Amino acid sequence: MEYFKLSLVFATPDAVSEENCQQLPSMEDALEEADDIAFSTVGYPLEDWDFVDFGEGNQLYYFYPNEVDKTSRYKLTILKEDI
């Protein structure tokens, strides 16, 4: 059985803070929840975040709240995991 782990982290040069972490039963559920979290966190939908697809249900989205100073960022991951 598989599930998708959704995690949102805010990282600065000095600290990393996990903002959200949950397990969802499908990729569709994970993407829906990720979009809601993205919008409620930074005011932009997931489609406006930068994106890397690692294949097999593993995706990384990242958003820089300050485009000039890219030392701080939100990182949202969706990872496929087996139970």
- The ranges assigned to domains in the chain are 2-82
- Residue 83 and residue 69 in contact, taking contact as beta carbons nearer than 8 Å: no
Tens-digit pLDDT profile for residues 6-25: 999 999 999 999 999 999 99
pLDDT exceeds cutoff 80 at 83: no
Tens-digit pLDDT profile for residues 21-50: 999 999 999 999 999 999 999 999 999 999
- Residue 74 and residue 63 in contact, taking contact as beta carbons nearer than 8 Å: yes
Q: How confident is the model at residue 56 (pLDDT cuts 50, 70, 90)?
A: confident
Tens-digit pLDDT profile for residues 59-75: 999 999 998 989 999 99
What is the pTM for the complete model shown?
Answer: 0.90
